[in-house]
Amino acid sequence: MDELGRLSVGEFKQASKTPIVVILDNVRSMNNVGSVFRTADAFLLEAICLCGYTPQPPHRDIQKTALGATETVDWLHYEQTVDAILDLKQRGYTVFAVEQAEGSISLETFQMPSQPIAIVMGNEVSGVDSAVLEQCDGCIEIPQLGSKHSLNISVAAGIVIWKLTEFTLSKN
């Protein structure tokens, strides 16, 4: 780890974070939750909001894919995803769902807002709940060229988080 220049848990907690929060809206798979934690750690994100029945650490199946990221990345639980969105908006975040929806913005043309951003990732089968979509400032869509028109949530989160982090890095 020393050779790779990785942060210790304490160093991670003290480091300046990328101004991105991930909101998981009723994600059912513990492996997906663990993967999002690991991605959030890799890009030094501020936090993850685990909403509804999204599983919470500690759990062996989350840890299997998180590889310790539940110890570094801050997380909060909300019974209702809408409550997480309202809380973050009150703290100055712009909130976008990652969803194929009418009026969604394609990721390659998305313009990063000047304030911190939160992204909502939806359930593996039903996507982001319609009541949650109503509270979002917009939707980001990942362009897809093949016959399937969906990605696994952990893959979609990785793509969007990287792109948003890339915007942040280019500002610095």
Residue 1 predicted with pLDDT over 60: no
Residue 21 predicted with pLDDT over 60: yes
Task: List helix spans (H) across 2-152.
Answer: 9-14, 30-42, 60-66, 69-72, 81-90, 130-135
Can you tell me whether residue 164 is helix, strand or coil? Answer: helix
Residue 8 predicted with pLDDT over 70: yes
Burial of residue 70 (number of CB atoms within 10 Å: 0-12, 13-18, 19+): buried
Average pLDDT (74-90) is: 98
All structural domains of the chain with their residue ranges: 17-171
Residue 3 predicted with pLDDT over 80: no
Cα-based distances in Å from 139 to 15, 75, 169: 29, 23, 22
Buried b (16+ CB within 10 A) or exposed e, 49-59: bbbbebbebee
Residue 167 banded pLDDT, cuts 50, 70, 90: confident
Residue 150 predicted with pLDDT over 70: yes
Average pLDDT, rounded, for the chain: 94
Residue 2 banded pLDDT, cuts 50, 70, 90: low
Whole-prediction pTM? 0.95
Residue 6 banded pLDDT, cuts 50, 70, 90: confident
Q: What is the pLDDT of residues 92-149, one digit of tens each?
A: 999 999 999 999 999 999 999 999 999 999 999 999 999 999 999 999 999 999 998 8
Nearest residue to 151 via CA among 107, 96, 85: 107
Pairing of strands 18-25, 117-121: parallel
* Residue 123 CA neighbour count, 13 Å, CB half: 15
Residue 169 confidence (pLDDT): 82
Residue 165 predicted with pLDDT over 80: yes
Annotation: CATH topology of 17-171: Alpha/beta knot (3.40.1280)
Pick the more confident residue, 15 or 132: 132
